[in-house]
Amino acid sequence: MDTDANGADFTSAAAAPRNSASAAVTCGTEPPPVGSASQGAAVDVDIQSVLSIALERPAVSFGNATTGSTPTPVSERLTVTSNNAAGYSVTAHRTAFQPADLPLGIAGTAPAGGQIGPALAGGAMAAIPIPPVADLLVGTTAARSATAGDVWDTRLGFTAPLPVVPAGRYTATVTFTVIGR
């Protein structure tokens, strides 16, 4: 009880300072936790749909050829990347060769999980149509592509021996179209 008389309320004692050299003293009980709390941090990301196509080469040359011969097909690998769960389809069409048309075709194999178009089944060389004829179905998938993309191992060639046409340089354009399903 405080008597308001310091001489009665307090007694003096020798100072007992402590430092790192002092003997350690173990606490009798666990210290109360230092103010701790846990809080979840919400993390989210919106992954956008993506569709990508890449070509092995921007142009194909069959070199020198003669009437009646069938030039060796040239590889034109397509790499398609898509994260659409329903997959995608690849089609092709072309312009007519100038100055006269030649029977350009395509053959190929599908990547794992892909399905080659019916006209290309069994390694067949299918004619590439000229609009307004509908595009040729190269193939379809029904799932997301591989991380590095699906590789369609296609080859451009001719469906028949070259017809009798005037000598000269013949050019055309092939268009590969990819659309998510």
Partner 1 sequence: MSRATSLAVVTLMLVLVPAPAGAGTTRPPLGLTATPARVALAGTGKASVRITNPGRGAVVVDVGRAGFSLDLRGRPRVVARAGPRAATAWLTVQPGRFVLPAGATKWLTVSSRLPRRVEPGDHDALILLTTRPWRSAGVAVRMRIGVVVVVRAPGRVVRSVAVRALRVRRAGHARTLELVLANRGNVTERVDAARVRLLLVRKGGRASVRAETRELRPGTNGVVQFRYRGRLAGWVTARVRLTLEPGRPVISRTFRVKL
Interface residue list for partner 1 (CB under 8 A): 48-62, 76, 79, 81-82, 84-89, 104, 132, 134-135, 137, 140, 142-143, 156, 169-181
Q: How far is the CB of 150 from partner 1 (least distance, A)?
A: 13
Taking alpha carbons only, the member of 7, 166, 158, 44 closest to residue 98 is 166
Cα separations (Å) of 164 from 25, 99, 160, 168? 107, 13, 12, 12
Angle at CA 7, nearest 5°, toward 4 and 10?
A: 90
Q: How far is the CB of 105 from partner 1 (least distance, A)?
A: 11
Secondary structure (3-state) at 121: helix
Q: Which is nearer to partner 1, 18 or 169 (CB)?
A: 169
Question: Is the CB of 8 or the CB of 55 nearer to partner 1?
Answer: 55
Q: What would you report as the CA-atom Rg of the chain, rounded to the nearest whole angstrom?
A: 39
CB-wise, 9 or 69, nearer to partner 1? 69
Q: Which two tokens stand for residue 148?
A: 């590095």
How near is the Cβ of 99 to partner 1 at its closest, in Å? 13
Q: How far is the CB of 154 from partner 1 (least distance, A)?
A: 10
State which residue, 81 or 108, has the beta carbon closest to partner 1.
Answer: 81
Closest to partner 1 by CB, 8 vs 133, is 133
For residue 20, give the amino acid letter.
Answer: S
**Please, what is the minimum distance in Å from the beta carbon of residue 85 to partner 1?**
5
Helix, strand, or coil (residue 105)? strand
Q: Are 160 and 62 in contact (CB under 8 A)?
A: no
